[in-house]
Structure 1
Amino acid sequence: MKKVIGLIAGFAVLLGGAVAYVVSARHSGPAVNAVPVTAGQTLALDPSTLFFRNLADGPDHGKLAAVPAKDPGTARRVGDLSCDRFAAARGTAICLRLKPESLPPLTEMLVLDANLKEIHRETLPGTPSRARVSPNGRIVNWTLFVSGDSYAASGFSTRTGFYNLDKQRLTKSVETLPILVGGKRYFASDVNFWGITFAADGNTFYLTMSSKGKTYLIKADYAKYWGEAIASNVECPSLSPDGRRIAYKQKVVTGKWRLAVLDLATRKITNPPDDRLLDDQPVWRDNDTLLYPLRAADGSTDIWSVGLTKAPTLLIRHATSPSLGGGRLS
């Protein structure tokens, strides 16, 4: 049975950003790059490298770029791969990109090896929104915006799925995932999921579920295929490398979101010292530092870093979709 989205307004904001985000990669742009670029590079996954989507105007707009994680101010190296969303872990990467001239929109989901060579591809309905790789590198997952669902009063919904490299198993959607809320099996016509993050065991994962105007943090078991709500008002979760904390988007009274961190053991919620609008899934640089893209006043998007108690720092201008290249720095 088709389902109804509970958070239409939130999805409208998300969708607007996603569509603009993807469409911006399709313009022809100027013939000269607006920032220093070393083009035509052969890129490979390396935990000392920070990858991102290049948003600077020029012929390399929309392409995958890389800088040293410890020196992100250097000229960005750019290869030939174009991605609207990118993530990597343990020698595996995922690249989501909108299929040209597809209507309704289709996304190409590419699984890449350590040399960023394609090893698997799926074409899925929707527009790229989120992408992650499990810390063991064996499961890639994604969230896409889709249109045309009769249950989506706004005309839009999401689809969240997996691809298991070891079993070569595709799960196009987790909509059938059984969920417990308050210890009881939860049934509703408007359940929707997005934003997956895996634990180091490659089995435990967390994601957002929305229903009846609320969002929940779901802790799930991949092998047993079931989940349980463990917190509320959590969107786009990201599990820390040590598995102790979840960073996420926290909705505030204005209806916008800010960065928040949940301690899984104590359930204490703290807010890093950056209260600007966050509309993405944060990335842990290490156990104490987060990376995330923010929209600037001039309309561009930049990658920022913030410590759990330290002030935010601008890392890379005209960039989004940050990912450490195959792992996290210790």
Structure 2
Amino acid sequence: MIVAIVSGAALAATSVVGVVAWREYQARAEAPSAVDVAGAGDEIDGDHVVFRNTASGSGYGHIARVPLSDPEGARVVDSVACDRVDATDVEFSCLRIERGIVPSYSATLYSRQGDQLEQWPLPGIPSRTRISADGALVATTSFVTGHSYATVGFSTETVIRTADGESMGNLEEWTLIVDGAASTPQDRNFWGVTFVDDTTFYATVGLTASEATYLVRGDIPARTLTTLAENVECPSVSPDGTRVAFKRVTSGSGAAVRWTPAIYDLATGEVTVLPEPRSIDDQIEWLDDDTILYGMPREGAVGDTDVWQLAADGASDPTVFIEHAWSPSVVRSGP
């Protein structure tokens, strides 16, 4: 009887805590947004930036858009909530954590208007997504185990799919070529796909045995991945196709690792480490051929982030590009 009474009291207390937490969440979600939001029905034409809105209040976690010419202006907030996003002018890829007693994870391809085109499950926490320029291919990376690239023993699944959801298989099943020879099968993880076109892409491979990471070039028709350079993570190919922006380990290891943005010249192999004093854990996006973008946590504000910009030649210090934003995707409407 005592056990039953204690258990009942504990269950009641847990229920009360859950109800209170839910009401607080609802209150925050229904509060006015902390940023200037465009009116209902407003659209953004022309070049713009798609991102995850992290401003407190209504629309937190939802997809938002601002004109490229006015990134600090009023943002159009969509009804779709995502944890990671990438977009073209006609569609966007949304990775989402379905929060609940038992969380689930999914990837959804939407039209520009927010209509669901395709959806498939993910095995774990969403990490990265990219769409090819013509929208024909979608890449997703999620954690099978772990929740960060600084976690010891993390495991990922990276898959490229066609726009109708057809899978090309986990990249771990493709042939990895190291120093001109096919690599002996071993524990390896791939992440951070960036498309050149519908036949070629770049990505990261991490080898568990040596703890080394490499930039790889993927050949889709041949299903091969060839290593190009060491200590390269989360690559992003420049609009002109001549360089790859990435994050590089510059100090520490494990949970204390420090990642610094850098630029790899594909023709010469030269690496330029950029002047960013903080550690970044994001897949870089190119604003144009001269400037990169990346998300950074906002100091002292849990769950809030900003998108920063930095000159690709390292000639200037980083500055805020969009406040209360994450996972930026630059969308250009013209050729």
TM-score (structure 1 length as normaliser)? 0.83
The answer to whether structure 1 residue 34 and structure 2 residue 31 are counterparts is: no
Q: Is the Cα contact below 8 Å between 2:260 and 2:274 reproduced in 1?
A: no
The CA distance in 2 between the partners of 1:91 and 1:76, in whole Å, is: 19
| Structure with the larger RCO, 1 or 2 (CA within 8 Å, 6+ apart) | 1
Cα drift, residue 99 of structure 1: 2.1
2:65: which partner in 1? Answer: 66
User: Which residue of 1 is the match for residue 18 of structure 2?
Assistant: none
Q: Deviations over 1:186-229 (max 9, x none)?
A: 12432111110010x32111110011210000111011110110
2:15 corresponds to: none
Q: Which moved more, 1:155-164 or 1:262-271?
A: 155-164
1:305 to partner: Cα distance: 0.9
Distance 2:56 2:62 in 1: 11
Judge conservation of contact 2:246–2:261 (CA < 8 Å) in 1: yes
Paired with 2:229 and 2:159, the residues of 1 have a C-alpha distance of 22
Shift of 1:115: 2.6
Is 1:111 aligned to residue 109 of structure 2?
A: yes
- Give the corresponding residue for 1:93: 92
* 8 Å Cα contact 1:40/1:79 also seen in 2: no
1:119 offset after TM fit, Å? 1.0
Bigger mean CA offset, 205-214 vs 302-311 = 302-311
Written as runs of structure 1 = structure 2, the 5 A alignment for 1:1-330 is: 27-28=25-26, 29=28, 31-38=31-38, 40-41=40-41, 48-101=47-100, 103=102, 105-147=103-145, 154=152, 156-165=154-163, 168-199=165-196, 201-211=197-207, 212-254=210-252, 255-299=257-301, 300-308=304-312, 309-325=315-331, 327=332
Asked if the contact 2:250–2:260 (Cα under 8 Å) also holds between the matched residues in 1, the reply is: yes
More helix per residue: 2
**Larger Cα Rg: Structure 1 or Structure 2?**
2
**1:301 aligned partner, one-letter code:** T
What is the CA–CA distance in structure 2 between the aligned matches of 1:178 and 1:302, rounded to whole Å?
Answer: 38
SS of the equivalent of 2:264 reads strand
Distance (whole Å) between structure 2 residues aligned to residue 291 and residue 273 of structure 1: 14
Deviation at 1:35, TM superposition (A): 1.7
Q: Secondary structure at the match of 2:55?
A: coil
Aligned-pair RMSD on alpha carbons? 2.3
Contact 1:41 1:78 in 2 (8 A): no
Measured against aligned partners, the alpha-carbon deviations of 1:146-200 in whole angstroms (never above 9, x if no partner) come to 239xxxx95641111111126x52235211111111111112432111110010x
Normalising by structure 2, report the TM-score: 0.82
* Residues 89, 333 of structure 2: 8 Å contact kept: no
